[in-house]
Structure 1
Amino acid sequence: MLSNIRIVLVQTYHPGNIGASARAMKTMGLTDLVLVNPRRYPDPEASRLAAGAEDLVDQARVVASLEEAVADCVQVVGASARLRSLPLPHFDEPDAMAGELVGHAAHDPVALVFGRERFGLTNDEIRCCSHQVSIPANPDYGILNLAQAVQVLAYEAFKAWRRRPESDYRPARPAGERQPTREQLGHFHDHLGRVMQASGFLTQPHARTEAQLQALFARARPSRKELSLLRGLLGSLERHLPDK
Protein backbone atom coordinates (compact mmCIF):
# COMPACT_ATOMS: atom_id res chain seq x y z
CA MET A 1 0.00 0.00 0.00
CA LEU A 2 2.76 2.47 0.91
CA SER A 3 4.60 1.60 -2.29
CA ASN A 4 1.61 2.98 -4.21
CA ILE A 5 2.00 6.44 -2.64
CA ARG A 6 4.16 8.62 -4.89
CA ILE A 7 5.86 11.86 -3.94
CA VAL A 8 6.21 14.26 -6.88
CA LEU A 9 8.50 17.30 -6.66
CA VAL A 10 7.99 19.89 -9.38
CA GLN A 11 11.00 21.89 -10.58
CA THR A 12 12.89 21.71 -7.31
CA TYR A 13 15.39 24.59 -7.21
CA HIS A 14 17.75 23.50 -4.41
CA PRO A 15 19.07 19.95 -4.83
CA GLY A 16 19.41 19.64 -1.06
CA ASN A 17 15.63 19.73 -0.81
CA ILE A 18 15.46 16.60 -2.95
CA GLY A 19 17.68 14.78 -0.48
CA ALA A 20 15.86 16.13 2.56
CA SER A 21 12.51 15.14 1.02
CA ALA A 22 13.85 11.63 0.34
CA ARG A 23 14.87 11.38 3.98
CA ALA A 24 11.40 12.51 5.07
CA MET A 25 9.86 9.89 2.81
CA LYS A 26 12.03 7.02 4.00
CA THR A 27 11.23 7.64 7.67
CA MET A 28 7.57 7.12 6.76
CA GLY A 29 8.04 4.07 4.58
CA LEU A 30 7.54 5.81 1.22
CA THR A 31 9.87 4.91 -1.64
CA ASP A 32 8.43 6.27 -4.92
CA LEU A 33 10.01 9.65 -5.72
CA VAL A 34 9.42 11.39 -9.06
CA LEU A 35 11.13 14.64 -10.06
CA VAL A 36 9.62 16.96 -12.65
CA ASN A 37 12.35 19.02 -14.36
CA PRO A 38 14.62 19.51 -11.31
CA ARG A 39 17.09 22.38 -11.66
CA ARG A 40 20.07 20.21 -10.64
CA TYR A 41 19.94 16.43 -10.46
CA PRO A 42 21.87 14.36 -9.75
CA ASP A 43 23.84 16.51 -7.35
CA PRO A 44 26.12 15.77 -4.36
CA GLU A 45 24.05 18.07 -2.16
CA ALA A 46 20.97 15.93 -2.71
CA SER A 47 22.86 12.82 -1.62
CA ARG A 48 24.43 14.59 1.36
CA LEU A 49 21.12 15.77 2.78
CA ALA A 50 19.45 12.42 2.17
CA ALA A 51 21.35 11.18 5.26
CA GLY A 52 20.68 7.48 4.82
CA ALA A 53 18.03 7.76 2.11
CA GLU A 54 20.50 7.99 -0.76
CA ASP A 55 18.86 4.95 -2.35
CA LEU A 56 15.64 6.93 -2.84
CA VAL A 57 17.58 9.79 -4.42
CA ASP A 58 19.47 7.44 -6.72
CA GLN A 59 16.37 5.62 -7.91
CA ALA A 60 14.19 8.74 -8.34
CA ARG A 61 12.59 9.04 -11.75
CA VAL A 62 12.96 12.26 -13.73
CA VAL A 63 10.13 13.25 -16.07
CA ALA A 64 9.44 16.25 -18.29
CA SER A 65 5.96 17.16 -17.07
CA LEU A 66 3.57 16.75 -14.16
CA GLU A 67 1.10 15.07 -16.52
CA GLU A 68 3.68 12.33 -17.15
CA ALA A 69 4.46 11.99 -13.44
CA VAL A 70 0.85 11.27 -12.45
CA ALA A 71 -0.61 9.69 -15.58
CA ASP A 72 -1.23 6.31 -13.90
CA CYS A 73 -2.56 7.71 -10.60
CA VAL A 74 -6.21 7.49 -9.53
CA GLN A 75 -5.88 10.36 -7.02
CA VAL A 76 -3.48 13.30 -7.22
CA VAL A 77 -3.33 15.70 -4.29
CA GLY A 78 -1.55 19.01 -4.77
CA ALA A 79 -0.07 20.62 -1.68
CA SER A 80 -0.80 24.33 -1.71
CA ALA A 81 -0.18 27.00 0.90
CA ARG A 82 -3.04 29.12 -0.37
CA LEU A 83 -6.52 28.47 -1.66
CA ARG A 84 -7.16 28.85 -5.36
CA SER A 85 -10.29 29.76 -7.27
CA LEU A 86 -10.16 26.45 -9.16
CA PRO A 87 -13.14 24.19 -8.42
CA LEU A 88 -11.14 21.30 -6.98
CA PRO A 89 -12.08 19.38 -3.85
CA HIS A 90 -9.98 20.76 -1.02
CA PHE A 91 -8.84 19.05 2.17
CA ASP A 92 -8.55 21.50 5.06
CA GLU A 93 -7.02 18.83 7.29
CA PRO A 94 -4.13 16.58 6.17
CA ASP A 95 -5.37 13.59 8.18
CA ALA A 96 -8.67 13.57 6.29
CA MET A 97 -6.73 13.68 3.02
CA ALA A 98 -4.42 10.88 4.14
CA GLY A 99 -7.26 8.55 5.07
CA GLU A 100 -8.80 8.83 1.61
CA LEU A 101 -5.44 8.69 -0.16
CA VAL A 102 -4.39 5.50 1.62
CA GLY A 103 -7.74 3.93 0.84
CA HIS A 104 -7.12 4.43 -2.89
CA ALA A 105 -3.49 3.31 -2.52
CA ALA A 106 -4.67 -0.10 -1.41
CA HIS A 107 -5.39 -0.86 -5.07
CA ASP A 108 -3.88 1.84 -7.32
CA PRO A 109 -1.08 4.42 -7.47
CA VAL A 110 -1.75 7.83 -5.92
CA ALA A 111 0.40 10.96 -5.71
CA LEU A 112 1.21 13.85 -3.41
CA VAL A 113 2.49 16.78 -5.48
CA PHE A 114 4.72 19.57 -4.17
CA GLY A 115 5.63 22.71 -6.10
CA ARG A 116 8.64 24.99 -6.27
CA GLU A 117 10.24 26.36 -3.15
CA ARG A 118 9.51 29.96 -4.11
CA PHE A 119 5.95 29.92 -5.44
CA GLY A 120 4.59 26.38 -5.30
CA LEU A 121 2.37 24.99 -8.06
CA THR A 122 1.00 26.98 -10.97
CA ASN A 123 -2.69 27.01 -11.78
CA ASP A 124 -2.05 24.75 -14.76
CA GLU A 125 -0.30 22.26 -12.51
CA ILE A 126 -3.11 22.41 -9.98
CA ARG A 127 -5.44 21.45 -12.83
CA CYS A 128 -3.48 18.21 -13.17
CA CYS A 129 -4.52 17.33 -9.62
CA SER A 130 -7.78 15.83 -8.48
CA HIS A 131 -7.62 17.41 -5.00
CA GLN A 132 -5.78 20.05 -3.01
CA VAL A 133 -4.56 19.97 0.57
CA SER A 134 -3.28 22.69 2.87
CA ILE A 135 -1.26 22.24 6.05
CA PRO A 136 -2.73 24.33 8.89
CA ALA A 137 -0.06 26.64 10.29
CA ASN A 138 0.49 29.92 12.10
CA PRO A 139 -1.54 32.50 10.13
CA ASP A 140 1.18 35.08 10.79
CA TYR A 141 3.91 32.81 9.42
CA GLY A 142 2.62 29.78 7.59
CA ILE A 143 5.68 29.13 5.42
CA LEU A 144 6.96 25.57 5.39
CA ASN A 145 10.19 24.41 3.81
CA LEU A 146 9.59 21.93 0.98
CA ALA A 147 11.03 18.97 2.89
CA GLN A 148 9.02 19.96 5.98
CA ALA A 149 5.82 19.88 3.96
CA VAL A 150 6.77 16.47 2.54
CA GLN A 151 7.44 15.24 6.08
CA VAL A 152 4.07 16.41 7.41
CA LEU A 153 2.02 14.85 4.63
CA ALA A 154 4.14 11.68 4.50
CA TYR A 155 3.60 11.28 8.24
CA GLU A 156 -0.15 11.67 7.86
CA ALA A 157 -0.16 9.03 5.12
CA PHE A 158 1.93 6.67 7.23
CA LYS A 159 -0.32 7.22 10.25
CA ALA A 160 -3.44 6.50 8.19
CA TRP A 161 -1.81 3.35 6.81
CA ARG A 162 -0.68 1.92 10.15
CA ARG A 163 -4.16 2.40 11.62
CA ARG A 164 -5.65 0.11 8.99
CA PRO A 165 -6.10 -3.45 10.30
CA GLU A 166 -4.39 -4.97 7.28
CA SER A 167 -1.18 -2.98 7.89
CA ASP A 168 -0.16 -5.30 10.75
CA TYR A 169 2.17 -2.50 11.87
CA ARG A 170 4.50 -3.30 14.74
CA PRO A 171 7.06 -0.70 15.85
CA ALA A 172 10.62 -1.97 15.96
CA ARG A 173 11.84 -2.58 19.49
CA PRO A 174 15.59 -2.76 20.20
CA ALA A 175 16.64 -5.96 21.94
CA GLY A 176 17.60 -4.04 25.08
CA GLU A 177 14.06 -2.69 25.40
CA ARG A 178 12.24 -6.02 25.18
CA GLN A 179 10.07 -6.80 28.17
CA PRO A 180 11.14 -9.70 30.40
CA THR A 181 9.13 -12.90 30.54
CA ARG A 182 7.13 -13.82 33.62
CA GLU A 183 9.71 -16.51 34.36
CA GLN A 184 12.55 -13.97 34.24
CA LEU A 185 10.63 -11.65 36.56
CA GLY A 186 9.98 -14.55 38.92
CA HIS A 187 13.70 -15.39 39.11
CA PHE A 188 14.47 -11.71 39.79
CA HIS A 189 11.98 -11.47 42.65
CA ASP A 190 13.26 -14.74 44.14
CA HIS A 191 16.80 -13.38 43.94
CA LEU A 192 15.75 -10.10 45.52
CA GLY A 193 13.98 -11.96 48.32
CA ARG A 194 17.06 -14.08 49.06
CA VAL A 195 19.32 -11.03 49.26
CA MET A 196 16.88 -9.13 51.49
CA GLN A 197 16.63 -12.12 53.82
CA ALA A 198 20.39 -12.75 53.93
CA SER A 199 21.20 -9.08 54.50
CA GLY A 200 18.81 -8.78 57.42
CA PHE A 201 16.67 -6.25 55.61
CA LEU A 202 13.60 -8.45 56.10
CA THR A 203 13.10 -9.03 59.81
CA GLN A 204 9.34 -9.59 59.94
CA PRO A 205 8.17 -12.68 58.01
CA HIS A 206 4.67 -11.36 57.51
CA ALA A 207 5.57 -7.83 56.45
CA ARG A 208 4.28 -6.68 53.05
CA THR A 209 7.70 -5.43 51.96
CA GLU A 210 8.19 -8.01 49.22
CA ALA A 211 4.70 -7.43 47.82
CA GLN A 212 5.25 -3.68 47.81
CA LEU A 213 8.57 -4.06 45.97
CA GLN A 214 6.95 -6.38 43.43
CA ALA A 215 4.30 -3.71 42.83
CA LEU A 216 7.02 -1.08 42.43
CA PHE A 217 8.82 -3.10 39.75
CA ALA A 218 5.53 -3.87 38.04
CA ARG A 219 4.92 -0.13 37.68
CA ALA A 220 8.51 0.51 36.59
CA ARG A 221 8.35 -2.24 33.91
CA PRO A 222 12.12 -2.77 33.64
CA SER A 223 13.36 -4.09 30.30
CA ARG A 224 15.31 -7.32 30.00
CA LYS A 225 18.55 -5.36 29.94
CA GLU A 226 17.58 -3.37 33.04
CA LEU A 227 16.51 -6.56 34.84
CA SER A 228 19.89 -8.09 34.00
CA LEU A 229 21.63 -5.06 35.54
CA LEU A 230 19.55 -5.44 38.70
CA ARG A 231 20.38 -9.15 38.88
CA GLY A 232 24.05 -8.25 38.52
CA LEU A 233 23.77 -5.76 41.37
CA LEU A 234 22.06 -8.32 43.59
CA GLY A 235 24.74 -10.89 42.76
CA SER A 236 27.49 -8.47 43.68
CA LEU A 237 25.83 -7.63 46.98
CA GLU A 238 25.26 -11.33 47.67
CA ARG A 239 28.97 -12.08 47.31
CA HIS A 240 29.78 -9.56 50.02
CA LEU A 241 27.31 -10.91 52.56
CA PRO A 242 28.77 -12.92 55.44
CA ASP A 243 28.27 -16.69 55.21
CA LYS A 244 25.87 -18.07 57.78
Structure 2
Amino acid sequence: MLSTIRIVLVQTFHPGNIGATARAMKTMGLTNLVLVNPRCFPDEEATRLAAGATDVLESAQVVASLEEAVSDCVQVVGASARLRSLPLPHFDEPDEMAQSVIQNAHQAPVALVFGRERSGLTNDEIRCCTHQVSIPANPDYGILNLSQAVQILAYEVHRAWRKQAESGFTYQRPLDATPPSREQFGHFQAHLGRLMQQSGFLTQPHARTEEQLQALFSRAQPSRKELSLLRGLLSAFEAHLPDK
Protein backbone atom coordinates (compact mmCIF):
# COMPACT_ATOMS: atom_id res chain seq x y z
CA MET A 1 0.00 0.00 0.00
CA LEU A 2 2.92 2.39 0.63
CA SER A 3 3.78 2.09 -3.06
CA THR A 4 0.69 4.14 -3.94
CA ILE A 5 2.02 7.09 -1.92
CA ARG A 6 3.94 9.45 -4.16
CA ILE A 7 6.50 12.10 -3.14
CA VAL A 8 6.56 14.96 -5.65
CA LEU A 9 9.34 17.55 -5.69
CA VAL A 10 8.71 20.69 -7.76
CA GLN A 11 11.65 22.37 -9.52
CA THR A 12 14.26 21.26 -7.01
CA PHE A 13 17.38 23.44 -7.41
CA HIS A 14 20.03 21.48 -5.50
CA PRO A 15 20.44 17.89 -6.72
CA GLY A 16 21.75 16.93 -3.28
CA ASN A 17 18.28 17.59 -1.90
CA ILE A 18 16.88 15.03 -4.31
CA GLY A 19 19.34 12.45 -3.02
CA ALA A 20 18.62 13.30 0.62
CA THR A 21 14.90 13.05 -0.12
CA ALA A 22 15.37 9.58 -1.61
CA ARG A 23 17.17 8.54 1.57
CA ALA A 24 14.41 10.00 3.76
CA MET A 25 11.80 8.16 1.71
CA LYS A 26 13.49 4.77 1.79
CA THR A 27 13.92 4.82 5.57
CA MET A 28 10.12 5.13 5.80
CA GLY A 29 9.29 2.52 3.17
CA LEU A 30 8.36 4.98 0.40
CA THR A 31 9.76 4.39 -3.08
CA ASN A 32 7.64 6.43 -5.49
CA LEU A 33 9.47 9.68 -6.33
CA VAL A 34 8.35 12.12 -9.03
CA LEU A 35 10.43 15.17 -10.01
CA VAL A 36 8.85 18.17 -11.72
CA ASN A 37 11.42 20.04 -13.83
CA PRO A 38 14.46 19.52 -11.58
CA ARG A 39 17.35 21.85 -12.39
CA CYS A 40 19.85 18.99 -12.58
CA PHE A 41 19.03 15.29 -12.55
CA PRO A 42 20.56 12.72 -12.67
CA ASP A 43 23.55 14.09 -10.79
CA GLU A 44 26.49 12.70 -8.82
CA GLU A 45 25.59 14.82 -5.79
CA ALA A 46 22.10 13.31 -5.70
CA THR A 47 23.60 9.81 -5.83
CA ARG A 48 26.11 10.63 -3.09
CA LEU A 49 23.52 12.00 -0.68
CA ALA A 50 21.09 9.17 -1.38
CA ALA A 51 23.46 7.03 0.73
CA GLY A 52 22.18 3.64 -0.40
CA ALA A 53 18.78 4.75 -1.65
CA THR A 54 19.93 4.89 -5.27
CA ASP A 55 17.14 2.49 -6.23
CA VAL A 56 14.65 5.25 -5.37
CA LEU A 57 16.58 7.65 -7.63
CA GLU A 58 16.85 5.16 -10.47
CA SER A 59 13.10 4.57 -10.48
CA ALA A 60 12.21 8.27 -10.12
CA GLN A 61 10.01 9.81 -12.82
CA VAL A 62 10.78 13.22 -14.32
CA VAL A 63 7.77 15.15 -15.64
CA ALA A 64 7.17 18.59 -17.09
CA SER A 65 4.39 19.84 -14.83
CA LEU A 66 2.75 19.29 -11.46
CA GLU A 67 -0.52 18.55 -13.23
CA GLU A 68 1.15 15.63 -14.98
CA ALA A 69 2.68 14.40 -11.73
CA VAL A 70 -0.64 14.16 -9.87
CA SER A 71 -3.28 13.67 -12.58
CA ASP A 72 -4.18 10.16 -11.40
CA CYS A 73 -4.13 10.94 -7.67
CA VAL A 74 -7.28 11.04 -5.54
CA GLN A 75 -5.60 13.16 -2.86
CA VAL A 76 -2.80 15.69 -3.31
CA VAL A 77 -1.37 17.29 -0.17
CA GLY A 78 0.78 20.36 -0.65
CA ALA A 79 3.36 21.06 2.04
CA SER A 80 3.43 24.76 2.81
CA ALA A 81 5.29 26.67 5.49
CA ARG A 82 2.57 29.28 5.67
CA LEU A 83 -1.17 29.51 5.18
CA ARG A 84 -2.38 31.08 1.97
CA SER A 85 -5.69 32.66 1.11
CA LEU A 86 -6.97 29.61 -0.73
CA PRO A 87 -10.05 27.70 0.45
CA LEU A 88 -8.31 24.32 0.65
CA PRO A 89 -8.79 21.94 3.58
CA HIS A 90 -5.76 22.36 5.80
CA PHE A 91 -4.12 19.87 8.14
CA ASP A 92 -2.71 21.68 11.15
CA GLU A 93 -0.94 18.54 12.34
CA PRO A 94 1.04 16.12 10.13
CA ASP A 95 -0.34 13.06 11.93
CA GLU A 96 -3.88 14.03 10.92
CA MET A 97 -2.70 14.36 7.33
CA ALA A 98 -1.01 10.95 7.49
CA GLN A 99 -4.15 9.19 8.69
CA SER A 100 -6.14 10.65 5.81
CA VAL A 101 -3.44 9.77 3.27
CA ILE A 102 -3.25 6.17 4.47
CA GLN A 103 -7.02 5.76 4.18
CA ASN A 104 -7.05 7.07 0.63
CA ALA A 105 -3.92 5.16 -0.41
CA HIS A 106 -5.82 1.91 0.07
CA GLN A 107 -7.93 2.85 -2.97
CA ALA A 108 -5.75 4.82 -5.39
CA PRO A 109 -2.56 6.90 -5.71
CA VAL A 110 -2.02 9.87 -3.41
CA ALA A 111 0.72 12.49 -3.45
CA LEU A 112 2.66 14.68 -1.04
CA VAL A 113 3.95 17.71 -2.89
CA PHE A 114 6.97 19.82 -1.90
CA GLY A 115 7.98 23.08 -3.54
CA ARG A 116 11.20 24.88 -4.29
CA GLU A 117 13.87 25.27 -1.63
CA ARG A 118 13.54 29.05 -1.43
CA SER A 119 9.99 29.89 -2.41
CA GLY A 120 7.95 26.73 -1.93
CA LEU A 121 4.84 26.18 -4.00
CA THR A 122 3.16 28.90 -6.00
CA ASN A 123 -0.54 29.65 -5.60
CA ASP A 124 -1.20 28.06 -8.99
CA GLU A 125 0.58 24.90 -7.85
CA ILE A 126 -1.36 24.80 -4.60
CA ARG A 127 -4.53 24.93 -6.72
CA CYS A 128 -3.46 21.54 -8.08
CA CYS A 129 -3.70 20.18 -4.55
CA THR A 130 -6.73 18.95 -2.66
CA HIS A 131 -5.27 19.71 0.80
CA GLN A 132 -2.49 21.62 2.51
CA VAL A 133 -0.34 20.61 5.46
CA SER A 134 2.05 22.61 7.61
CA ILE A 135 4.74 21.33 9.93
CA PRO A 136 4.49 23.01 13.35
CA ALA A 137 7.88 24.49 14.18
CA ASN A 138 9.55 27.24 16.17
CA PRO A 139 7.68 30.43 15.18
CA ASP A 140 10.94 32.36 15.48
CA TYR A 141 12.79 29.98 13.16
CA GLY A 142 10.54 27.62 11.24
CA ILE A 143 12.91 27.00 8.34
CA LEU A 144 13.20 23.37 7.28
CA ASN A 145 15.46 21.92 4.64
CA LEU A 146 13.53 20.22 1.83
CA SER A 147 14.64 16.71 2.77
CA GLN A 148 13.91 17.42 6.45
CA ALA A 149 10.33 18.31 5.58
CA VAL A 150 10.02 15.13 3.51
CA GLN A 151 11.44 13.08 6.38
CA ILE A 152 8.94 14.46 8.90
CA LEU A 153 5.89 13.87 6.72
CA ALA A 154 7.18 10.50 5.51
CA TYR A 155 7.66 9.43 9.13
CA GLU A 156 4.09 10.41 9.99
CA VAL A 157 2.78 8.46 7.01
CA HIS A 158 4.81 5.40 7.97
CA ARG A 159 3.64 5.73 11.57
CA ALA A 160 -0.01 5.85 10.49
CA TRP A 161 0.58 2.82 8.24
CA ARG A 162 2.22 0.86 11.09
CA LYS A 163 -0.92 1.30 13.16
CA GLN A 164 -3.00 -0.46 10.51
CA ALA A 165 -3.64 -4.05 11.57
CA GLU A 166 -3.02 -5.28 8.05
CA SER A 167 0.42 -3.64 7.83
CA GLY A 168 2.03 -6.66 9.50
CA PHE A 169 4.84 -4.40 10.70
CA THR A 170 7.00 -5.76 13.51
CA TYR A 171 10.19 -4.44 15.03
CA GLN A 172 13.09 -6.78 14.44
CA ARG A 173 14.75 -7.79 17.68
CA PRO A 174 18.56 -8.18 17.46
CA LEU A 175 19.66 -11.78 17.78
CA ASP A 176 21.57 -11.04 20.98
CA ALA A 177 18.52 -9.34 22.56
CA THR A 178 16.54 -12.55 23.11
CA PRO A 179 15.20 -12.57 26.67
CA PRO A 180 16.25 -15.42 28.97
CA SER A 181 13.89 -18.21 29.90
CA ARG A 182 12.42 -18.22 33.40
CA GLU A 183 14.65 -21.21 34.21
CA GLN A 184 17.78 -19.31 33.13
CA PHE A 185 16.76 -16.27 35.16
CA GLY A 186 16.03 -18.49 38.15
CA HIS A 187 19.55 -19.97 37.97
CA PHE A 188 21.00 -16.45 37.91
CA GLN A 189 18.98 -15.37 40.93
CA ALA A 190 20.06 -18.50 42.84
CA HIS A 191 23.71 -17.85 41.90
CA LEU A 192 23.42 -14.23 43.02
CA GLY A 193 21.85 -15.22 46.32
CA ARG A 194 24.49 -17.88 46.97
CA LEU A 195 27.34 -15.46 46.31
CA MET A 196 25.83 -12.79 48.56
CA GLN A 197 25.68 -15.35 51.36
CA GLN A 198 29.20 -16.68 50.80
CA SER A 199 30.78 -13.24 50.54
CA GLY A 200 29.24 -12.01 53.77
CA PHE A 201 27.38 -9.26 51.93
CA LEU A 202 24.13 -10.21 53.65
CA THR A 203 24.68 -9.16 57.24
CA GLN A 204 21.09 -8.25 58.13
CA PRO A 205 18.80 -11.22 57.40
CA HIS A 206 15.61 -9.18 57.70
CA ALA A 207 16.68 -6.22 55.51
CA ARG A 208 15.21 -7.75 52.30
CA THR A 209 18.47 -6.93 50.52
CA GLU A 210 18.45 -10.08 48.40
CA GLU A 211 14.83 -9.54 47.39
CA GLN A 212 15.48 -5.93 46.41
CA LEU A 213 18.52 -6.82 44.26
CA GLN A 214 16.62 -9.57 42.52
CA ALA A 215 13.80 -7.11 41.81
CA LEU A 216 16.35 -4.69 40.36
CA PHE A 217 17.59 -7.29 37.85
CA SER A 218 14.01 -8.25 37.01
CA ARG A 219 13.22 -4.63 36.11
CA ALA A 220 16.41 -4.37 34.04
CA GLN A 221 15.20 -7.24 31.80
CA PRO A 222 18.67 -8.40 30.69
CA SER A 223 18.97 -10.40 27.48
CA ARG A 224 20.34 -13.94 27.45
CA LYS A 225 23.74 -12.62 26.43
CA GLU A 226 23.73 -10.01 29.17
CA LEU A 227 22.61 -12.58 31.74
CA SER A 228 25.46 -14.84 30.65
CA LEU A 229 27.90 -11.97 31.21
CA LEU A 230 26.49 -11.42 34.68
CA ARG A 231 26.81 -15.12 35.47
CA GLY A 232 30.42 -14.97 34.33
CA LEU A 233 31.06 -11.98 36.57
CA LEU A 234 29.53 -13.77 39.56
CA SER A 235 31.65 -16.85 38.87
CA ALA A 236 34.81 -14.73 38.71
CA PHE A 237 34.01 -13.18 42.11
CA GLU A 238 33.11 -16.58 43.51
CA ALA A 239 36.49 -18.02 42.48
CA HIS A 240 38.26 -15.50 44.74
CA LEU A 241 36.23 -16.24 47.85
CA PRO A 242 38.04 -18.18 50.56
CA ASP A 243 37.01 -21.81 50.93
CA LYS A 244 34.82 -22.48 53.92
The TM-score, its normalising length taken from structure 2, stands at 0.91
Letter of the 1:110 partner, please give it.
Answer: V
Name 1:91's counterpart in structure 2.
91
**Residue 42 of structure 2 corresponds to residue 70 of structure 1:** no
Name 2:115's counterpart in structure 1.
115
Deviation of 1:147 after TM superposition, in Å, equals: 0.7
2:223 and 2:169 map into 1 onto residues whose CA distance is 22
Once the two structures are superposed, residues 41-96 of structure 1 have per-residue CA deviations (whole angstroms, 9 ceiling, x without a partner) of: 11111111112322212222222222222222111101112222222212122111
Letter of the 2:100 partner, please give it.
Answer: E
**Residue 30 of structure 2 corresponds to residue 30 of structure 1:** yes
Letter of the 2:216 partner, please give it.
Answer: L
Letter of the 1:136 partner, please give it.
Answer: P
Name 2:15's counterpart in structure 1.
15
Once the two structures are superposed, residues 4-23 of structure 1 have per-residue CA deviations (whole angstroms, 9 ceiling, x without a partner) of: 21111111100000111111
Letter of the 1:238 partner, please give it.
Answer: E
Name 1:226's counterpart in structure 2.
226
Deviation of 1:203 after TM superposition, in Å, equals: 6.1
Name 1:140's counterpart in structure 2.
140
The TM-score, its normalising length taken from structure 1, stands at 0.91
Name 2:187's counterpart in structure 1.
187
User: Unaligned stretches of 5+ in structure 2?
Assistant: none
Deviates further, 203-212 or 43-52: 203-212
Deviation of 1:111 after TM superposition, in Å, equals: 0.7
**Residue 163 of structure 2 corresponds to residue 163 of structure 1:** yes
Secondary structure of 1:3 counterpart = helix
Deviates further, 56-65 or 91-100: 56-65
Name 2:46's counterpart in structure 1.
46
Name 1:149's counterpart in structure 2.
149
User: Moved runs in structure 1, 4+ residues, more than 4 A?
Assistant: 202-207
2:224 and 2:59 map into 1 onto residues whose CA distance is 40
Deviates further, 132-141 or 193-202: 193-202
Once the two structures are superposed, residues 188-237 of structure 1 have per-residue CA deviations (whole angstroms, 9 ceiling, x without a partner) of: 11222232333343467776333222111112222333212111101222
Deviation of 1:39 after TM superposition, in Å, equals: 0.9
Deviation of 1:98 after TM superposition, in Å, equals: 1.0
Secondary structure of 2:179 counterpart = coil
1:199 and 1:30 map into 2 onto residues whose CA distance is 58
1:89 and 1:58 map into 2 onto residues whose CA distance is 34
Aligned residues: 244
User: Unaligned stretches of 5+ in structure 1?
Assistant: none
Letter of the 2:79 partner, please give it.
Answer: A
Closer/same/farther in 2, CA of residues 204 and 135 from structure 1, 3 Å limit: closer
Secondary structure of 1:8 counterpart = strand
Deviates further, 28-37 or 161-170: 161-170
